[in-house]
Amino acid sequence: MDDALIPEGAKRCGFPTFMIGIVIVGAVLLWGVYAMFLCWFKGLNQTNMNDYYGFALWIWADLAVIAVGGGAFFTGLLKYIFKVDELKNIINFAVIIGFICYSSALLILAIDIGQPLRGWFIFWHANVHSMLTEVAFCLSCYFAVLTIEFIPNILENRQANKVPFFHHLAHNMHGVMAVFAATGAFLSFFHQGSLGGVAGVMFGRPFAYREGLLIWPWTFFLFTWSAAAFGPCFTLLVTKITEIITGKKLVGDKTVHLLAKISGWMITTYIIAKIIDTIYWAWVTVPSMGFKLSHFYSNNGFYGYWILITEVILCGVVPGLLLINKSTRENPATRTIAIILGVIGVCLNRWVMVLQIMAVPVMSFDTWALYIPSWQEVATTILPVAYGIILIAVAYRYLPVFPQELELNKSADAAAQN
Amino acid sequence: MIENKKAHKFGMVIDLDKCTGCGACMVSCMAENNVPFKEDESNKKDSITWMRVYRLTNGKSFPETQIAYIPRPCQHCGGIGDHGHSPCVSVCPATATDYGYDTGIVSQIYTRCFGCRYCMGACPYHARYFNWWDPKWPEGMENYLSPNVSPRMRGVVEKCSFCYHRYQLAREQAIVEDREIEEMEYQTACTTACPAGAIVFGDLNNPAHKVHQIVKPDPHPDPLNHKVVGKSRNPKVFRLLERLGTNTKVYYMSDREWVRKAGDNYLKGEWENVKTHHGASSSHG
């Protein structure tokens, strides 16, 4: 019934099957929307946050989706500025994932603030010394850039493209996309960095505090670097999941191998920097404030050295090595393991830089504070996931997202027809 | 006519050997500043207590057990180098908390705060509180609210203001009478309520004020840690987490070494080296 909207030549499941999937995910989405309205109308007492945990699950989710959404700016930078043309086969999808991640981040922030109607104060009464101000400005601007990058793909819908104006607009927007890609990379450098700076500048919190360059703590650079490194892992992971669900090959191996290789080298160089940063922090910064490293990883029921080792070694060094090594990179099983570990690693890093900071006692007579989120927090955190699934499903069904799709599935489609 | 006068730097020193932990400071603070309360205040992690009294022990068993109570208002940090970039002020994205260079008081603008809570994360003293609920008082108690302090709405952060409204009243009176504020004209609610007289409040910049005479703040950066300014030259006086460079204006005093040591974090052997160090110019204090 929606055949006229489906890209020409592309095979899609029947409309009823599609709608069943949408309804199931939509139910989860509605659950999240219900929790969101509870938070807006009844207030943040609906959460399990408290005065020790002013930043909690949502801020972690916010930082995590922005980090994994970094695949959009980095892939765009490589494709349009460094002219890595092979990435044209995945750039549309990277942009859609980025769009989902950033719109989710803005939604989470709108739920997270205690006075949502005053959200604009961050722009109106901006404190130029605050990293969060920089985050708000760059995040909003970059979301606008992502929307601009997404529009040509939307206009390439079979019916929309029949309208001459839309056809030419999409064509011309593609032509000037390098400008937006460069703008996006510039904005992303700053907001990814400022998100790292949010933690790094907190000189009252030794677990978070980092020295740095001029006004930027080292976490500023590490966050940008890690988003560029692990963002492509998430793009590859979502591509893989989409391929499994649709039962089709959507992106050619050459493109996947190239992006995995770039990601691998970025991860490896990032993790070297991260290890140096951790060693300096543990041996120089923290002792100067009167703490031993063990203070941050003991005397509590959850945060131990395991989290540091998991983040840096298991989900940092290991995926880096697996992806820079040609044989493991080109082996689908080890590559998938590497990208999953990479995504877990960057999310774990954001967790540590949000929640563990809040948990660690600073005053000598204070105690560790652990926290379990309420169902409203969990539901609103799952909300963007459901929204993302629906948007990807709709985009995949009605837009020519994957330029290689027809070519890669020609033989399978022919076999199915026979 | 406005004259170019030396800025005030209001602060307090709390004698922990006098503090009995009675909580009168907490009660008077809540009453003075229209702090709402919950029906069940047992969860202290989401209760609003601008002034909170912590209980410390020396960790020894009877008969050597000792107890100390540490009243903790907002520390009104001056930030690294005491330049006014407090941990919370520097991070607030909407300039909803500000540093008064004329008073040294860290303010909170409730109508500008949009509740991001970054300031709470940045404060190592847990001195900032979020209004998780609408403010409510038992029926009839609204009649006893102070008209000088605005109640706060749900979804914003609040904290101790050093009873800034009392400063405003005293300042207005002094301006009308064309004179300086007297020491006892501006005193915080907790100071006046403390039955043991453990809290001394005043202008740390004014040598005539008792708080200055007790603390003897060193105007020079600490040679051992250049982030620290205003270190006390009184060997019994210390500040909480001083070595982080927060440069608080709340000082504590105790004869007991274990209490002074509890004010900060020290690596093994460090305390023995620093406990006799009292600023750059302690010799002429």
Are B112 and A125 a contacting pair at CB < 8 A? yes
Q: Which residue has the tokens 């109106």?
A: A124
**What's the mean pLDDT in A168-197?**
91
pLDDT band at B1, cuts 50/70/90? very low
Quick one: closest CA in A to B46, which residue?
Answer: A50
Rounded Cα distance, B108 and B91, in Å: 13
Q: For residue B66, give how far its alpha carbon lies from the nearest alpha carbon of chain A (Å).
A: 14
- The answer to whether B209 touches B8, Cβ cutoff 8 Å, is no
Provide the pLDDT for residue B38. Answer: 85
Segment B34-73, tens digit of pLDDT: 999 888 888 889 999 999 999 999 999 999 999 999 999 9
Are A129 and B94 a contacting pair at CB < 8 A? no
Q: Which chain B positions have a beta carbon within 8 Å of A212's beta carbon?
A: none
Q: Does B50 touch chain A (CB under 8 A)?
A: no
CA neighbor of A56 nearest in space, from A358, A366, A397: A358
Provide the pLDDT for residue B277. Answer: 76
Quick count: other Cβ atoms within 10 Å of Cβ A17?
10
**What's the mean pLDDT in B172-177?**
95
What is the percentage of chain B residues whose pLDDT exceeds 90?
A: 86
Are A129 and B112 a contacting pair at CB < 8 A? no
ipTM for the predicted complex: 0.93
Q: Which CATH class is domain B10-284?
A: alpha beta
Lowest mean pLDDT among A27-41, A273-287, A336-350, A403-417: A403-417
Q: For residue A206, give how far its alpha carbon lies from the nearest alpha carbon of chain B (Å).
A: 8
B90: which 2 tokens?
């520097």
Are B118 and A198 a contacting pair at CB < 8 A? yes
For an interface test with B, the pick among A41, A108, A115, A294 (most B C-beta atoms closer than 10 Å) comes out as A115
pLDDT band at A273, cuts 50/70/90? very high
Are A205 and B124 a contacting pair at CB < 8 A? yes
Quick one: closest CA in B to A199, which residue?
Answer: B122
Q: For residue B38, give how far its alpha carbon lies from the nearest alpha carbon of chain A (Å).
A: 12
Beta-bridge partner residues of A56: none
CATH of A3-409, one of 3.30.70.150, 1.20.1630.10, 3.55.50.30, 1.20.1250.20: 1.20.1630.10
For an interface test with A, the pick among B53, B117, B136, B267 (most A C-beta atoms closer than 10 Å) comes out as B117
pLDDT band at A5, cuts 50/70/90? very high
Chain B 109-168, residues with CB within 8 Å of chain A CB atoms: 112-118, 120-126, 128-134, 153-157
Q: Which chain B positions have a beta carbon within 8 Å of A203's beta carbon?
A: 80, 87, 244-246
Are B132 and A112 a contacting pair at CB < 8 A? no
- Dihedral over alpha carbons B56, B81, B98, B128 (to 10 degrees): -20
Rounded Cα distance, B194 and B224, in Å: 35
Q: Which chain A positions have a beta carbon within 8 Å of B134's beta carbon?
A: 43
Query: Can you tell me whether residue B88 is helix, strand or coil?
Result: coil
Q: Which chain B positions have a beta carbon within 8 Å of A44's beta carbon?
A: 115, 130, 132, 155
Sequence spans of domains, chain A: 3-409
Are A114 and B118 a contacting pair at CB < 8 A? no
Provide the pairing of β-strand B157-158 with B129-130: antiparallel
Q: Which chain A positions have a beta carbon within 8 Å of B264's beta carbon?
A: 290, 364
Provide the pLDDT for residue A2. Answer: 86
Quick one: closest CA in B to A40, which residue?
Answer: B155
Are B129 and A51 a contacting pair at CB < 8 A? yes
CA neighbor of B74 nearest in space, from B91, B100, B52, B89: B52
Q: Which chain A positions have a beta carbon within 8 Å of B228's beta carbon?
A: none
Sequence spans of domains, chain B: 10-284
Provide the pLDDT for residue B264. Answer: 96
Q: For residue B225, give how far its alpha carbon lies from the nearest alpha carbon of chain A (Å).
A: 9
Q: Does residue B108 have a pLDDT over 90?
A: yes
pTM of the complete model: 0.93
Quick one: closest CA in B to A122, which residue?
Answer: B94
Are B265 and A290 a contacting pair at CB < 8 A? yes
Q: For residue B175, give how far its alpha carbon lies from the nearest alpha carbon of chain A (Å).
A: 31
CA neighbor of B160 nearest in space, from B195, B186, B125: B125
Our measurement of the distance from residue B142's CA atom to the centroid of its chain's CA atoms, rounded to an integer in Å, reads 27
Are B265 and A202 a contacting pair at CB < 8 A? no
- The answer to whether A226 touches A270, Cβ cutoff 8 Å, is yes
pLDDT band at B239, cuts 50/70/90? very high
Q: Please tell me which of the candidates A118, A204, A365 has its beta carbon nearest to residue B122.
A: A204
Segment A189-246, tens digit of pLDDT: 888 999 999 999 999 999 999 999 988 999 999 999 999 999 999 999 999 999 999 9
Are A121 and B122 a contacting pair at CB < 8 A? no
**Average predicted confidence (pLDDT) for chain B:** 93
Chain B 224-253, residues with CB within 8 Å of chain A CB atoms: 240-241, 243-246
Burial track A110-134 (b if 16+ CB lie within 10 A, e otherwise):
ebbbbbeebbebbeebbbebbbbbb
pLDDT band at B6, cuts 50/70/90? confident
pLDDT band at A68, cuts 50/70/90? very high
Provide the pLDDT for residue B284. Answer: 40
Rounded Cα distance, A38 and A99, in Å: 26
